[in-house]
Homo-oligomer: A and B are copies of this chain.
Amino acid sequence: MGTQPNHLNERGEVHMVEVGEKPATRRLGRAVGYLSARPDICQAVKNGQIPKGDVLAVSRVAGIMAAKKTSDIIPLCHPLPLTHIDVQIEIESEAFRVEAVVETTAPTGVEMEALTAVSASLLTLYDMLKGMDRTLEIGHIVLLEKAGGRSGHFLREGASHVDHSDSHQ
């Protein structure tokens, strides 16, 4: 861990950090976040009283497309050739849980891409449910896992390890 943002150059000004000397390696980022909602809304979506097919599909697509726009949304992120994006939504009793996995072969990681996918997916769910529930809150967005690169494998305490090599098609 550093003691200064590496997005600041020697003049204390932001730049997009040089990564050209680092080798392109396979990297994975996995993040999660929640949209807390009224239990009756969660239940109604879960059991299909509110038609959930399109709602969940649109939210997933929004996450996938936002991951590809990460370097356009977050000013100092590098444009990267993403090789895999998967967004999974689970309906819990009082929240929608969104988890995103992003992979690339590149000289820098895809932590921000996974977090951006989760954020956009949650905002899209919020947009579709906001006419029914004014208690909506987006939160608990954290990085679950990071693999590849010099800093080694990171697995957030309490996060389960997913064998991504099985989940590919």
Residues on A facing B (Cβ under 8 Å) = 1-21, 26, 33, 50-51, 53-58, 60-62, 64-69, 71-88, 103-107, 111-112, 115-116, 119-120, 123-124, 126-134, 136-143, 154, 167-169
Contact = CB atoms under 8 A, between A and B. Distances in A.
Contacts of A168: 17-18, 21
B139 A141 contact: yes
Question: How many copies altogether?
Answer: 6
27 contacts: A4-B132, A5-B50, A5-B55, A7-B128, A9-B86, A9-B169, A13-B57, A14-B55, A15-B64, A16-B82, A17-B169, A18-B103, A20-B84, A57-B61, A58-B76, A64-B76, A74-B124, A74-B127, A76-B127, A79-B79, A80-B81, A81-B106, A116-B123, A134-B154, A136-B142, A137-B141, A138-B142
Contacts of A120: 73-74, 119
A72 B75 contact: no
A interface, by DSSP: helix, strand, loop or mixed? mixed
Given A14-B61, A54-B13, A131-B5, A78 B81 contact: yes
